[in-house]
Amino acid sequence: MQDEKSVSFGDAPEAPGDRIVILGKVVGTFGVKGWLKISSYTEPATNILDYEMLLINAGPAGWNEIRVEDGRETDKGVLAKLAGIESPEAGRLRIGAELGVRRSEMPETAAGEYYWSDLEGLEALNVEGEVLGQVDHFRTTPAGTVVVIHGTQELWVPFVKERIVKVDIAAGRIVLDWTVDWRE
């Protein structure tokens, strides 16, 4: 059994393919053997368990590697047993900690497919070349996924094929069929 490794990534410079992508968060404990309840941001939710090693945010100390010993999905969500966490008390110390992986460890996407994290930070333009702002994050709503753009104002643009004109990661841009004054 391997405990958390003391490998800090907090101050290390990140190559573009090595940035940390957040896949979920510890939200509680389960049982008496150190199992954790995980809020997974992956689709499907159990994909977070596909990684043998995750990074766990250790706060000011940075990110530490931690081995995934076991995991499963229940009606209460995703549960994971992480190495070195052997009791509910040890688990409670991890509540709120983010879980992630290096981008380079994620599976490659097919042509025309992107991870949301690859689009965050891109400059968003409309088809006329007007700058809408910068892609900040994505939000899932009952009506569907929206891309949240921060510019002169915050824009929530439906993230659907009809609105996406072009994605150019290398140039750092995404072109959307949208204008600053539209409201949907």
Confidence class for position 17, pLDDT limits 50, 70, 90: low
Least confident among 7-21, 36-50, 70-84, 159-173:
7-21
Please list the residues that pair with 53 across neighbouring strands.
67
Q: Which domain holds residue 49?
A: 16-104
Q: Are residues 158 and 80 in the same domain?
A: no
Q: Is residue 93 part of a domain?
A: yes
- For residue 11, is pLDDT > 50? no
Q: Are residues 50 and 128 in the same domain?
A: no
> Which of 87, 45, 47, 80 is closest to 66 using CA atoms?
80
Q: Are residues 129 and 76 in the same domain?
A: no
Least confident among 2-6, 15-19, 111-115, 149-153:
2-6
Q: What is the pLDDT of residue 182?
A: 65
pTM over 0.85: no
Q: Is the omega angle on the peptide bond into residue 44 within 30 degrees of 0, that is, cis?
A: yes
Q: What is the pLDDT of residue 2?
A: 30
Q: Is residue 44 part of a domain?
A: yes
Q: Is residue 165 part of a domain?
A: yes
Q: State the total domains in the chain.
A: 2
Greater pLDDT, 171 or 12: 171
- For residue 168, is pLDDT > 60? yes
Q: Are residues 123 and 89 in the same domain?
A: no
Question: Among the three residues 104, 125, 142, which one is the final residue of a domain in this structure?
Answer: 104
Q: Are residues 97 and 144 in the same domain?
A: no
Question: Among the three residues 82, 104, 126, which one is the final residue of a domain in this structure?
Answer: 104
DSSP E strands in the chain: the ranges are 20-30, 35-40, 53-57, 63-74, 77-82, 98-102, 123-126, 131-141, 144-150, 154-158, 164-168, 173-176
